[in-house]
Amino acid sequence: MASTRFTTEYEPNTGDIDVFFDFVKHGDTALYKCKAENQYGSDETQSILFIIDVPNIDERPQTGNPDAFKNLDAPVAAVMPDMDEKYDLQPPIVIIPLTDKLIREEVPVELSCKIIGNPKPKVDLMILCCWLSLT
């Protein structure tokens, strides 16, 4: 299962998209994809986050009722309103793509990309799979 320890920020004026993990665990190893769409097209970028296991990490839930948080891992979507300007219309374009990362457990991580388009695109962050392994 992917992490519930991350937040996503989208700045529509600059196209910057950031995903911040407070700390990562082995279960966060996954393929992350960011897709942007508007009525003129779409573009996407993806990266693999590889987590190196640290021995003796306690993987037990840190809450008495972990099922209460199971829906927090649903895809994150940010819908931006269309711009009023009717000039310079363009489909979304990935300017700075996500990059693969190899990180040790228990450290903070940031995934960043930049996508522009006019009108402002709808942006979705998807966690495509959680089965990748370095072993």
Domain ranges for the chain, please list them.
Answer: 6-129
The pLDDT tens digits for 13-54 are 889 999 898 888 888 888 999 999 999 999 999 999 998 887
By DSSP bridging, strand 76-78 and strand 41-52 are: unpaired
- pTM of whole model > 0.95? no
Q: Round to whole Å and give the CA distance between 129 and 67.
A: 20
Phi, psi of 95 (to 5 degrees): -90, -45
